[in-house]
Amino acid sequence: MRYITYLLVSIFTLFTFCGCGSFSGNYSLSGSSIDPSWKTIYIAPFPNYAQLQNPSLSQDLNLTLQDVFRNRTKLNLSGTDDSDLIIEGEITGYEVMPMSIQSNDIAAENRLTVTVKVKYINNIDETKSFDRTFSAYENFPGSQLLSDVEPTILPNIIDLIRDQVFASIAMDW
C-alpha cells in the first residue's frame, strides 16, 4: 500500500513539474500557455465608471495586472497599443449590498462587489481575443463601515479579479 501511495505521489509530482498536457510547447512551469513568440503586452488604464467610487481602484487594478504579467510571464510591458497583446477595460461596478439581515432589519453582513469589463486583444492570434466581465467580492461585518474595512478587503478583491483575468489570458480559461 505504501508503494502505491509513493508511486501516485511521484507521478503527480512529475506531471506537476513537467507541465502535463503541454503538447503545443507553449506551457511553462507556472502553467502559462502564452506563446513564446509573443513579446509585448500593453495594459491600458481602466477608467472607473462605477456609481460608487474608490479613487485609487483604477490605478491599483492597473498596477496589479501589470505586476502579474511582468512576474509570471516573459512578456515585456509596453506603453503603446501596438503591442502583441492588449488589455483594456473599465470598472463598471463597485457595490455594497446587505447579505444577512438580522431580526431587527439591520445587516449582519455586507458584501463589497467589484465588477470589471475587460477587452483582451491578441494581435497575433485573434482567436484568443475576448470581451468578458469579471467580478469578485468580500463580505464584511454589518457593524463596520465600508471606509473602515475597505483598505483590508479591497486588495483581496483586486487580487481575485487579477487572477481571473490572468487565468483567462494566460491559461485559456
State pLDDT tens for residues 26-36: 434 345 578 88
Question: Which domain range does residue 49 map to?
Answer: 34-170
Interval 150-172: pLDDT, tens: 999 999 999 999 999 999 998 87
Q: Would residue 139 count as lying in a domain?
A: yes
Q: Would residue 66 count as lying in a domain?
A: yes
Q: Rounded to an integer, what distance in angstroms lies between the CA atom of residue 3 and that of residue 48?
A: 56
Give the predicted TM-score (pTM) of the model: 0.78
Paired with 87 in beta bridges are: 43, 120
Burial of 83 (0-12, 13-18, 19+ CB in 10 A): buried
Burial of 34 (0-12, 13-18, 19+ CB in 10 A): buried
Burial of 80 (0-12, 13-18, 19+ CB in 10 A): exposed
Q: Rounded to an integer, what distance in angstroms lies between the CA atom of residue 83 and that of residue 121?
A: 9
Q: Would residue 4 count as lying in a domain?
A: no
Q: Would residue 76 count as lying in a domain?
A: yes
Work out the average pLDDT over 142-149: 93
Q: Would residue 159 count as lying in a domain?
A: yes
Check which CATH number belongs to the domain holding 106 and give it: 3.30.160.150
Q: Would residue 64 count as lying in a domain?
A: yes
Q: Rounded to an integer, what distance in angstroms lies between the CA atom of residue 139 and that of residue 148?
A: 13
- Judged by average pLDDT, the poorest of 42-51, 55-64, 93-102 is 93-102
Q: Would residue 85 count as lying in a domain?
A: yes
Q: Rounded to an integer, what distance in angstroms lies between the CA atom of residue 85 and that of residue 129?
A: 9
Q: Would residue 124 count as lying in a domain?
A: yes
* Domain count across the chain: 1
